Amino acid sequence: MDLFAIGEYMQERRAKLQIRQEDLAELTGITAKTIYMIENGKGNPSFSTLAKIATVLGLEINLQIKKTIE
């Protein structure tokens, strides 16, 4: 999982919707500090946290698992 890319995309989407970090925090029940950390690639969010954010931002999470060792 590329945490920097996730955070960057999340920040772009939030800006497009004109939602402040504080508003997103309130809407998701996640702290503003956590939102900040995720957006700056410094957080390691759980799937549950990402799902809450994605719901508010109107995003879809796609999970792909590949077999890497035969």
Q: Which fold has domain 3-57?
A: 434 Repressor (Amino-terminal Domain) (1.10.260)
pTM of the model: 0.83
pLDDT digits (tens), the chain, 70 positions:
688 999 999 999 999 999 999 999 999 999 999 999 999 999 889 999 999 999 999 999 887 777 778 7
Give the model's pLDDT for residue 19. Answer: 97
Q: Can you give the residue ranges of every domain in the chain?
A: 3-57
CA-based radius of gyration for the chain: 13
Give the model's pLDDT for residue 63. Answer: 79
Integer angstrom CA distances of residue 20 from 27, 41, 59: 11, 18, 17
